[in-house]
Amino acid sequence: MAKLSNEDLLAAFEEMTLLELSEFVKLFEEKFDVEAAAPAAAVVAAPAGGAGDAAAEEEKDEFDVVLESAGDKKIQVIKEVRGLTSLGLKEAKDLVDNAPKPLLEGVNKENADKAKEALEGAGATVTLK
């Protein structure tokens, strides 16, 4: 068998689909009893353009804080909602009663995490989207 150069190997990999590359990596790992590292997987995915979409999702800088349920301590949750927003008592109570509802929209990661922590501390169930 003729020895292939690195350029020849790269040219062959460029012609493969992601599924074919994935199968090749599995066979390579089994044959040589090794495990592919994460950076190698990112390099393999790059030619197909899939890595760019994943990176765009990871760099999300605006989040929506959604109140899923108030839990057992509804009054504490209403107090936290009022503290996080400019809502009055009635509006905050209505929001908590009608969960799941978006509480904060388009906030940065730090503020979203603080709001989630405060609401979960009061007994609510919260998700970040």
- Residue 70 contacts residue 123 (beta carbons within 8 Å): yes
pLDDT tens readout for residues 66-93:
888 888 888 998 998 888 888 888 888 8
Whole-model pTM: value is: 0.52
- 52 half-sphere exposure, CB direction, 13 A CA radius: 4
Q: Which of 90, 83, 88 is nearest to 104 (CA)?
A: 83
